[in-house]
Structure 1
Amino acid sequence: MSVPADSKTGLAAVAEAATQAPGRGLPPVHLWNPPHCGDIDICIRRDGVWLHENSPIGRPELVRLFSTVLRKDPDGYCLVTPVEKLSIRVEDLPFRAVAVTAEQGALRFVTDVGDEVEAGPDHPIRVHTDPVTGEPSPALHVRADLWARIARPVFYELVEMAGVEDDRLVVRSAGATFALGPAGAGVA
Protein backbone atom coordinates (compact mmCIF):
# COMPACT_ATOMS: atom_id res chain seq x y z
CA MET A 1 0.00 0.00 0.00
CA SER A 2 1.47 3.34 -0.94
CA VAL A 3 1.14 6.30 1.37
CA PRO A 4 0.52 9.72 -0.18
CA ALA A 5 3.54 12.02 0.14
CA ASP A 6 1.54 14.60 2.06
CA SER A 7 0.26 12.05 4.61
CA LYS A 8 1.13 12.73 8.21
CA THR A 9 2.59 10.00 10.38
CA GLY A 10 2.92 9.27 14.10
CA LEU A 11 1.10 11.51 16.57
CA ALA A 12 0.16 14.02 13.84
CA ALA A 13 -1.61 11.29 11.85
CA VAL A 14 -3.38 9.99 14.94
CA ALA A 15 -4.62 13.46 15.84
CA GLU A 16 -5.74 14.12 12.27
CA ALA A 17 -7.58 10.78 12.04
CA ALA A 18 -9.32 11.42 15.33
CA THR A 19 -10.63 14.77 14.09
CA GLN A 20 -12.64 12.88 11.48
CA ALA A 21 -15.11 12.23 14.30
CA PRO A 22 -17.17 15.39 14.65
CA GLY A 23 -18.60 16.02 18.10
CA ARG A 24 -18.58 12.84 20.16
CA GLY A 25 -18.75 10.54 17.15
CA LEU A 26 -16.05 7.98 16.57
CA PRO A 27 -13.93 7.42 13.47
CA PRO A 28 -14.51 4.06 11.76
CA VAL A 29 -11.32 2.43 13.10
CA HIS A 30 -12.86 -1.01 12.62
CA LEU A 31 -12.80 -0.40 8.85
CA TRP A 32 -9.18 0.71 8.68
CA ASN A 33 -6.54 -1.93 7.92
CA PRO A 34 -3.27 -0.03 7.62
CA PRO A 35 0.15 -1.65 7.93
CA HIS A 36 1.66 -1.97 11.40
CA CYS A 37 4.34 0.72 11.64
CA GLY A 38 5.82 -0.20 15.02
CA ASP A 39 5.41 1.07 18.54
CA ILE A 40 4.77 4.58 19.79
CA ASP A 41 5.88 5.47 23.30
CA ILE A 42 2.38 5.90 24.72
CA CYS A 43 1.28 4.05 27.83
CA ILE A 44 -2.08 4.11 29.58
CA ARG A 45 -1.28 3.53 33.22
CA ARG A 46 -3.40 1.44 35.57
CA ASP A 47 -4.77 4.68 37.10
CA GLY A 48 -5.95 5.91 33.68
CA VAL A 49 -3.20 8.47 33.09
CA TRP A 50 -1.97 8.58 29.49
CA LEU A 51 1.79 9.02 29.15
CA HIS A 52 3.84 9.97 26.09
CA GLU A 53 7.55 9.35 26.51
CA ASN A 54 6.95 8.87 30.26
CA SER A 55 5.30 12.31 30.65
CA PRO A 56 1.57 12.68 31.36
CA ILE A 57 -0.45 14.00 28.46
CA GLY A 58 -1.87 17.02 30.24
CA ARG A 59 -4.53 18.08 27.76
CA PRO A 60 -7.78 16.13 28.29
CA GLU A 61 -8.87 17.07 24.76
CA LEU A 62 -5.80 15.34 23.31
CA VAL A 63 -6.36 12.22 25.41
CA ARG A 64 -10.00 12.17 24.24
CA LEU A 65 -8.84 12.56 20.65
CA PHE A 66 -6.40 9.64 20.95
CA SER A 67 -9.02 7.49 22.69
CA THR A 68 -11.25 7.74 19.61
CA VAL A 69 -8.66 5.98 17.44
CA LEU A 70 -7.77 3.34 20.03
CA ARG A 71 -8.40 -0.24 19.05
CA LYS A 72 -7.59 -3.63 20.56
CA ASP A 73 -6.36 -6.13 18.02
CA PRO A 74 -5.22 -9.73 18.62
CA ASP A 75 -1.65 -8.42 18.93
CA GLY A 76 -2.58 -5.76 21.52
CA TYR A 77 -3.71 -2.17 21.84
CA CYS A 78 -2.96 0.28 19.07
CA LEU A 79 -3.75 3.72 17.73
CA VAL A 80 -5.02 3.42 14.18
CA THR A 81 -5.24 5.87 11.30
CA PRO A 82 -6.19 5.16 7.70
CA VAL A 83 -2.47 4.87 6.84
CA GLU A 84 -0.74 3.40 9.90
CA LYS A 85 -1.13 1.33 13.04
CA LEU A 86 1.02 2.07 16.09
CA SER A 87 1.19 -0.22 19.12
CA ILE A 88 0.83 1.28 22.61
CA ARG A 89 1.05 -0.16 26.13
CA VAL A 90 -1.95 -0.48 28.43
CA GLU A 91 -1.24 -1.57 32.01
CA ASP A 92 -4.79 -2.65 32.87
CA LEU A 93 -7.81 -1.49 30.86
CA PRO A 94 -7.71 1.60 28.65
CA PHE A 95 -10.56 3.51 30.30
CA ARG A 96 -11.98 4.22 33.78
CA ALA A 97 -15.71 4.44 34.54
CA VAL A 98 -15.70 7.47 36.82
CA ALA A 99 -19.42 8.17 37.32
CA VAL A 100 -22.72 6.29 37.30
CA THR A 101 -26.34 7.37 37.43
CA ALA A 102 -29.45 5.24 37.63
CA GLU A 103 -32.43 6.47 35.67
CA GLN A 104 -35.37 4.87 33.92
CA GLY A 105 -34.21 1.31 34.61
CA ALA A 106 -30.70 1.83 33.28
CA LEU A 107 -27.26 2.45 34.71
CA ARG A 108 -25.45 5.14 32.75
CA PHE A 109 -21.70 5.46 33.12
CA VAL A 110 -19.27 8.18 32.10
CA THR A 111 -15.64 7.29 31.40
CA ASP A 112 -12.53 9.32 32.04
CA VAL A 113 -12.34 10.13 28.30
CA GLY A 114 -15.95 11.31 28.06
CA ASP A 115 -17.67 8.21 26.69
CA GLU A 116 -21.22 7.72 27.90
CA VAL A 117 -22.22 4.06 28.18
CA GLU A 118 -25.51 2.47 29.22
CA ALA A 119 -24.91 -0.92 30.82
CA GLY A 120 -27.04 -3.65 29.27
CA PRO A 121 -26.85 -6.68 27.00
CA ASP A 122 -24.48 -4.91 24.57
CA HIS A 123 -22.42 -3.28 27.33
CA PRO A 124 -22.09 -5.78 30.19
CA ILE A 125 -20.62 -5.26 33.61
CA ARG A 126 -18.23 -8.00 34.68
CA VAL A 127 -16.55 -8.52 38.02
CA HIS A 128 -13.56 -10.79 38.43
CA THR A 129 -12.54 -11.58 42.00
CA ASP A 130 -8.92 -12.20 42.92
CA PRO A 131 -8.83 -15.76 44.31
CA VAL A 132 -6.11 -14.86 46.83
CA THR A 133 -7.17 -11.43 48.11
CA GLY A 134 -10.89 -11.64 47.34
CA GLU A 135 -10.68 -8.13 45.88
CA PRO A 136 -13.21 -7.43 43.11
CA SER A 137 -12.03 -6.09 39.77
CA PRO A 138 -15.13 -4.60 38.09
CA ALA A 139 -15.23 -3.57 34.43
CA LEU A 140 -17.71 -2.17 31.90
CA HIS A 141 -17.73 -2.86 28.17
CA VAL A 142 -17.38 0.44 26.29
CA ARG A 143 -17.02 -0.39 22.58
CA ALA A 144 -15.55 -3.06 20.31
CA ASP A 145 -13.04 -4.90 22.56
CA LEU A 146 -12.40 -1.88 24.80
CA TRP A 147 -13.34 -1.96 28.48
CA ALA A 148 -13.33 0.51 31.37
CA ARG A 149 -12.20 -0.35 34.88
CA ILE A 150 -15.00 0.74 37.19
CA ALA A 151 -13.44 3.13 39.72
CA ARG A 152 -13.69 2.06 43.36
CA PRO A 153 -16.10 4.87 44.41
CA VAL A 154 -18.36 4.02 41.46
CA PHE A 155 -18.27 0.33 42.39
CA TYR A 156 -19.30 1.28 45.95
CA GLU A 157 -22.27 3.15 44.45
CA LEU A 158 -23.22 0.01 42.50
CA VAL A 159 -23.02 -2.09 45.67
CA GLU A 160 -25.34 0.40 47.39
CA MET A 161 -27.82 0.05 44.48
CA ALA A 162 -27.58 -3.76 44.44
CA GLY A 163 -30.18 -6.23 45.51
CA VAL A 164 -29.58 -9.80 46.72
CA GLU A 165 -30.46 -12.82 44.59
CA ASP A 166 -29.24 -16.35 45.24
CA ASP A 167 -26.76 -15.00 47.82
CA ARG A 168 -25.21 -12.65 45.25
CA LEU A 169 -25.28 -8.87 44.97
CA VAL A 170 -26.83 -7.95 41.61
CA VAL A 171 -27.70 -4.81 39.70
CA ARG A 172 -30.03 -4.50 36.74
CA SER A 173 -29.72 -2.23 33.74
CA ALA A 174 -31.62 -2.08 30.46
CA GLY A 175 -33.11 -5.54 31.00
CA ALA A 176 -29.86 -7.26 31.93
CA THR A 177 -28.74 -8.52 35.37
CA PHE A 178 -25.13 -8.30 36.49
CA ALA A 179 -23.60 -10.03 39.52
CA LEU A 180 -21.23 -7.90 41.58
CA GLY A 181 -20.13 -10.59 44.03
CA PRO A 182 -21.32 -12.67 46.97
CA ALA A 183 -23.78 -11.02 49.34
CA GLY A 184 -22.49 -10.42 52.84
CA ALA A 185 -18.83 -10.59 51.83
CA GLY A 186 -18.52 -6.82 51.45
CA VAL A 187 -16.17 -5.19 49.03
CA ALA A 188 -12.49 -4.52 49.51
Structure 2
Amino acid sequence: MTNPATSSGLSGVAEAARQTPGRGLPPVHLWHPEHCGDIDILIRADGVWMHEGSPIGRAELVRLFSTVLRKDPDGYHLVTPVEKLKIQVEDLPFRAVAVQSVDGVLNFTTDMGDVVEAGVDHPIEVETDAVTGEPSPRVHVRADLWARIVRPVFYELVERAGAADGRLVVRSGDEAFSLGGLE
Protein backbone atom coordinates (compact mmCIF):
# COMPACT_ATOMS: atom_id res chain seq x y z
CA MET A 1 0.00 0.00 0.00
CA THR A 2 1.36 3.40 -0.95
CA ASN A 3 1.14 6.30 1.46
CA PRO A 4 -0.21 9.44 -0.26
CA ALA A 5 2.53 11.45 1.44
CA THR A 6 5.09 9.62 -0.75
CA SER A 7 3.90 10.84 -4.13
CA SER A 8 7.19 12.67 -4.61
CA GLY A 9 9.14 9.75 -3.14
CA LEU A 10 10.53 8.38 -6.39
CA SER A 11 11.88 11.71 -7.56
CA GLY A 12 13.34 12.45 -4.11
CA VAL A 13 15.09 9.09 -4.00
CA ALA A 14 16.45 9.52 -7.52
CA GLU A 15 17.73 13.00 -6.70
CA ALA A 16 19.51 11.80 -3.55
CA ALA A 17 21.16 8.97 -5.46
CA ARG A 18 22.42 11.42 -8.10
CA GLN A 19 24.18 13.54 -5.48
CA THR A 20 27.34 11.43 -5.53
CA PRO A 21 28.06 10.40 -9.13
CA GLY A 22 31.60 9.10 -9.48
CA ARG A 23 32.17 9.45 -5.74
CA GLY A 24 30.98 6.07 -4.56
CA LEU A 25 27.73 5.25 -2.85
CA PRO A 26 25.61 7.79 -0.98
CA PRO A 27 26.14 7.64 2.81
CA VAL A 28 22.74 6.12 3.62
CA HIS A 29 24.09 4.86 6.95
CA LEU A 30 24.37 8.51 8.06
CA TRP A 31 20.83 9.47 7.06
CA HIS A 32 18.09 9.07 9.66
CA PRO A 33 14.94 10.72 8.33
CA GLU A 34 11.48 9.95 9.66
CA HIS A 35 9.68 7.03 8.05
CA CYS A 36 7.41 8.49 5.33
CA GLY A 37 5.42 5.34 4.63
CA ASP A 38 5.48 2.50 2.16
CA ILE A 39 6.07 2.85 -1.55
CA ASP A 40 4.76 0.24 -3.97
CA ILE A 41 8.16 -1.07 -5.03
CA LEU A 42 8.93 -4.78 -4.96
CA ILE A 43 12.23 -6.45 -5.75
CA ARG A 44 11.23 -9.86 -7.03
CA ALA A 45 13.30 -12.97 -6.33
CA ASP A 46 14.42 -12.93 -9.99
CA GLY A 47 15.93 -9.45 -9.51
CA VAL A 48 13.25 -7.47 -11.34
CA TRP A 49 12.30 -4.20 -9.63
CA MET A 50 8.55 -3.54 -9.85
CA HIS A 51 6.67 -0.28 -9.24
CA GLU A 52 2.89 -0.43 -8.86
CA GLY A 53 2.86 -3.91 -10.45
CA SER A 54 4.95 -3.05 -13.52
CA PRO A 55 8.66 -3.61 -14.10
CA ILE A 56 10.81 -0.50 -13.83
CA GLY A 57 12.14 -0.40 -17.37
CA ARG A 58 14.99 2.06 -16.97
CA ALA A 59 18.10 0.23 -15.77
CA GLU A 60 19.69 3.55 -14.79
CA LEU A 61 16.79 4.35 -12.46
CA VAL A 62 16.95 0.91 -10.83
CA ARG A 63 20.69 1.36 -10.33
CA LEU A 64 20.07 4.76 -8.71
CA PHE A 65 17.50 3.27 -6.35
CA SER A 66 19.86 0.41 -5.46
CA THR A 67 22.43 2.93 -4.22
CA VAL A 68 20.04 4.33 -1.60
CA LEU A 69 18.73 0.95 -0.45
CA ARG A 70 19.19 0.10 3.21
CA LYS A 71 18.03 -2.78 5.40
CA ASP A 72 16.81 -1.75 8.83
CA PRO A 73 15.39 -4.02 11.56
CA ASP A 74 11.87 -3.45 10.18
CA GLY A 75 12.75 -4.21 6.55
CA TYR A 76 14.16 -2.68 3.38
CA HIS A 77 13.95 1.05 2.70
CA LEU A 78 14.93 3.59 0.09
CA VAL A 79 16.57 6.35 2.13
CA THR A 80 17.42 9.97 1.37
CA PRO A 81 18.47 12.71 3.77
CA VAL A 82 14.77 13.68 4.13
CA GLU A 83 12.73 10.55 3.28
CA LYS A 84 12.59 6.91 4.29
CA LEU A 85 10.27 4.75 2.19
CA LYS A 86 9.68 1.07 2.92
CA ILE A 87 9.78 -1.35 0.00
CA GLN A 88 9.25 -5.11 -0.32
CA VAL A 89 11.92 -7.68 -1.21
CA GLU A 90 10.91 -11.26 -2.02
CA ASP A 91 14.32 -12.85 -1.39
CA LEU A 92 17.49 -10.75 -1.41
CA PRO A 93 17.81 -7.32 -3.04
CA PHE A 94 20.66 -8.21 -5.39
CA ARG A 95 21.78 -11.15 -7.51
CA ALA A 96 25.38 -12.18 -8.13
CA VAL A 97 25.29 -12.81 -11.87
CA ALA A 98 28.99 -13.35 -12.63
CA VAL A 99 32.18 -14.42 -10.89
CA GLN A 100 35.76 -14.25 -11.99
CA SER A 101 39.01 -15.09 -10.29
CA VAL A 102 41.63 -12.34 -10.26
CA ASP A 103 44.94 -13.44 -8.74
CA GLY A 104 43.12 -16.14 -6.75
CA VAL A 105 40.45 -13.77 -5.40
CA LEU A 106 36.81 -14.27 -6.39
CA ASN A 107 35.14 -11.11 -7.68
CA PHE A 108 31.36 -11.22 -7.96
CA THR A 109 29.41 -8.82 -10.17
CA THR A 110 25.83 -8.09 -9.13
CA ASP A 111 22.87 -7.32 -11.34
CA MET A 112 23.29 -3.68 -10.23
CA GLY A 113 26.90 -3.52 -11.43
CA ASP A 114 28.53 -3.73 -8.01
CA VAL A 115 31.77 -5.72 -7.88
CA VAL A 116 32.38 -7.54 -4.61
CA GLU A 117 35.63 -9.24 -3.65
CA ALA A 118 34.81 -12.34 -1.58
CA GLY A 119 36.73 -12.39 1.69
CA VAL A 120 36.43 -11.60 5.38
CA ASP A 121 34.32 -8.47 4.76
CA HIS A 122 32.26 -10.08 1.99
CA PRO A 123 31.70 -13.73 2.91
CA ILE A 124 30.02 -16.37 0.82
CA GLU A 125 27.33 -18.25 2.75
CA VAL A 126 25.30 -21.27 1.69
CA GLU A 127 22.19 -22.36 3.54
CA THR A 128 20.69 -25.72 2.66
CA ASP A 129 16.95 -26.34 2.77
CA ALA A 130 16.39 -29.08 5.36
CA VAL A 131 13.53 -30.64 3.37
CA THR A 132 14.68 -30.39 -0.25
CA GLY A 133 18.47 -30.24 0.27
CA GLU A 134 18.53 -27.32 -2.19
CA PRO A 135 21.46 -24.93 -1.59
CA SER A 136 20.73 -21.23 -1.20
CA PRO A 137 24.04 -19.39 -1.77
CA ARG A 138 24.64 -15.70 -1.18
CA VAL A 139 27.48 -13.18 -0.99
CA HIS A 140 27.64 -10.09 1.20
CA VAL A 141 27.55 -6.82 -0.78
CA ARG A 142 27.46 -3.95 1.73
CA ALA A 143 25.99 -3.07 5.13
CA ASP A 144 23.23 -5.67 5.64
CA LEU A 145 22.61 -6.17 1.92
CA TRP A 146 23.31 -9.50 0.24
CA ALA A 147 23.20 -10.90 -3.29
CA ARG A 148 21.70 -14.26 -4.15
CA ILE A 149 24.30 -16.21 -6.16
CA VAL A 150 22.46 -17.35 -9.29
CA ARG A 151 22.57 -21.02 -10.21
CA PRO A 152 25.10 -20.82 -13.10
CA VAL A 153 27.50 -18.82 -10.91
CA PHE A 154 27.07 -21.32 -8.07
CA TYR A 155 27.94 -24.12 -10.51
CA GLU A 156 31.13 -22.22 -11.39
CA LEU A 157 31.99 -22.07 -7.68
CA VAL A 158 31.37 -25.81 -7.34
CA GLU A 159 33.73 -26.44 -10.29
CA ARG A 160 36.44 -24.35 -8.56
CA ALA A 161 35.90 -26.02 -5.19
CA GLY A 162 37.82 -28.81 -3.53
CA ALA A 163 37.14 -31.24 -0.71
CA ALA A 164 38.15 -30.39 2.86
CA ASP A 165 36.96 -32.11 6.04
CA GLY A 166 33.91 -33.62 4.35
CA ARG A 167 32.85 -30.28 2.86
CA LEU A 168 33.05 -28.74 -0.59
CA VAL A 169 35.18 -25.61 -0.14
CA VAL A 170 35.98 -22.73 -2.46
CA ARG A 171 38.84 -20.32 -1.79
CA SER A 172 39.07 -16.59 -2.33
CA GLY A 173 42.47 -15.23 -1.41
CA ASP A 174 43.32 -16.56 2.05
CA GLU A 175 39.69 -17.33 2.94
CA ALA A 176 37.86 -20.63 2.51
CA PHE A 177 34.08 -20.82 2.16
CA SER A 178 31.99 -23.99 2.53
CA LEU A 179 29.54 -24.66 -0.28
CA GLY A 180 28.03 -27.66 1.51
CA GLY A 181 28.71 -31.21 2.59
CA LEU A 182 30.06 -33.91 0.31
CA GLU A 183 27.62 -36.73 -0.27
Q: Counterpart of 2:15 in 1: which secondary structure? A: helix
Q: Is the Cα contact below 8 Å between 1:120 and 1:176 reproduced in 2? A: yes
Separation of aligned partners in 1, 2:125 and 2:119: 11
Q: Which residue matches 1:116? A: 115
Tell me the residue number matched to 2:58. Answer: 59
Q: Report the equivalent of 1:5.
A: none
CA distance in 2, matches of 1:99, 1:24: 24
Judged with a 3 Å threshold, the aligned counterparts in structure 2 of structure 1 residues 139 and 15 are, in CA distance, closer, same or farther, namely same
CA RMSD of aligned residues (A): 1.1
SS of residue matched to 1:18: helix
Describe the superposition over 1:102-145 as per-residue Cα deviations: whole angstroms up to 9, x where unpaired.
Answer: 12120000000000000000000000000000000000000000
Aligned to 1:32: 31
> 1:105 aligns to what?
104
Distance in 2 separating the partners of 1:62 and 1:113 = 11
Alignment of 1:1-188 (within 5 A): 9-23=8-22, 25-183=24-182, 185=183
Q: What CA distance in whole angstroms lies between the structure 2 residues aligned with 1:174 and 1:72? A: 28
Matched-pair identity in %? 75
Aligned-residue offset at 1:24: 6.7
Q: Partners in 2 of 1:21 and 1:41 — Cα distance?
A: 25
* Alignment partners' CA distance in 2, 1:134 and 1:176: 25
List per-residue Cα deviations over 1:82-113 (Å, max 9, x = no partner).
00100000000000000000121200000000
Mark the runs of 5 or more structure 2 residues left unpaired by the alignment: 1-6
AA aligned to 2:132 is T
Which letter does structure 2 place at the counterpart of 1:106?
V
Matches of 1:9 and 1:17 in 2, distance apart?
12
How far off its partner does 1:23 sit?
2.6
For residues 156 and 89 of structure 2, the distance between their equivalents in structure 1, rounded to whole angstroms, comes to 26
Relative to the length of structure 2, the TM-score reads 0.94
1:148 and 1:111 mapped to 2: Cα distance? 7
- Following superposition, the deviation at residue 167 of structure 1 comes to 1.3
Q: Given that residues 121 and 175 in structure 1 are in contact (C-alpha distance below 8 angstroms), is that contact kept between their aligned partners in structure 2? A: no
4+ residue runs over 2 A deviation: none
Query: 1:24-76 CA deviation, whole Å, 9 max, x = no partner?
Result: 71000000000000000000001000000010011111110000000000110
Distance of 2:22 and 2:155 partners within structure 1: 32
Give the aligned length: 177
- Matched to 1:50, the amino acid is W
